[in-house]
Structure 1
């Protein structure tokens, strides 16, 4: 089975928003990544970025034809991970709801 064009588009857009620093503007939550320079914070943390992409991919849901059904949700879950790992020492941010094992699985 090949990846659907809709999934390829969703992945491309997620990568685009992540790499140009505009993820916070497309997740329907203006506060989650506010004042967090995640690209700078994670530039030397490949495994943390890998985890964000895994969370995005693990959360994507598609119908039988490959149409992505929850693009914003998958991006927001990845953004929650980014927010969590980029928090300052005194920051008490917690992911809600907490990540389930299947969401953070690396394949």
Structure 2
């Protein structure tokens, strides 16, 4: 019996993912990210937009962490938008910390979370 070859059907990003990404970008760029992640202390007192405005690779890493950690079901419904935003916020806090700030990311980032594609 011959089996049919599966066609490589292009997949589109779900509308739910597009919405989650749009909201992350919105909260990041207008400075309200700390208020939507359920932990205002992560970025308290840090003007990350000013600190990172000339550090494109650090911003790129925050977006990579957001997209790498977000999870969706088989229909493309986002399951952990706040968690993905919080992990990105943890990165932002880590790279924007002052010399005397002993902030550590908990739990530490795993390699797959920080992978750039």
Q: CA deviation at 1:30?
A: 1.3
Counterpart residue number, 2:98: 88
Q: C-alpha distance in 1, partners of 2:71/2:78?
A: 6
Normalised TM-score (structure 2): 0.91
**Which aligned runs of 4 or more in structure 1 are off by greater than 3 angstroms?**
none
Instruction: Indicate yes or no: 2:94 matched with 1:74.
Output: no
Q: CA deviation at 1:58?
A: 0.2
Counterpart residue number, 2:5: none
Normalised TM-score (structure 1): 1.00
Among 48, 59, 62, which residue is 2:58 paired with?
48
Unpaired stretches in structure 2, ≥5 consecutive residues: 1-10
CA displacement, residues 30-81 of structure 1 (integer Å, 9 cap, x when unaligned): 1110110000000000000000000000000000000000000000000000
CA displacement, residues 77-100 of structure 1 (integer Å, 9 cap, x when unaligned): 000000000000010000000000
Unpaired stretches in structure 1, ≥5 consecutive residues: none
Following superposition of structure 1 onto structure 2, how do residues 1-107 of structure 1 map, counting pairs within 5 Å?
Answer: 1-107=11-117
Mark the structure with the bigger radius of gyration: 2
